[in-house]
């Protein structure tokens, strides 16, 4: 018999066990070994790389964004920081979702 936990959150972290019992209720098995399930709400930190690293006006540049586990099916969105005058604050402009941003 299987059980499934859906939409896990950090509150589901803990030790899990199973125990068998006969349908007639007259006999039961010992407890299984524990399985420690750890769910982290920490989000992976994307890494931005630039190639080439030294640029001159008129050059082309490639920006790459990745996370540690590329098999996880991540999609990335590109933003440009836009200064908000008269302070040192920025707003973030979402760049168009075009093929060159893949």
Could you read off the pLDDT of 47-57 as tens digits, one per residue? 888 898 888 88
pLDDT in tens, 1-37: 677 777 678 888 899 989 888 888 788 888 898 898 8
Dihedral-angle region of residue 7 (phi above 0 means left; psi in -120 to 50 means alpha; beta otherwise): left
Decide: pTM greater than 0.85. Answer: no
Is residue 62 within 8 A of residue 50, CB to CB? The reply is: yes
Q: Which residues contact 14 (CB under 8 A, 6 or more apart)?
A: 36, 37
């Amino acid at each position: 018999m299987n059980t499934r936990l859906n939409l896990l959150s950090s509150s589901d972290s803990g030790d899990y066990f199973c125990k068998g019992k006969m349908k007639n209720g007259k006999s039961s098995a010992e407890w299984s070994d524990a399985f420690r399930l750890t769910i982290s709400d920490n989000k992976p930190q994307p890494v931005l790389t630039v190639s080439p690293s030294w640029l001159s006006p008129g050059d082309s540049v490639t920006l790459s964004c990745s996370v540690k586990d590329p098999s996880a099916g991540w999609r990335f969105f590109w933003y440009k920081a836009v200064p908000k005058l008269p302070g040192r604050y920025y707003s973030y402009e979402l760049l168009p979702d075009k093929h060159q941003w893949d």
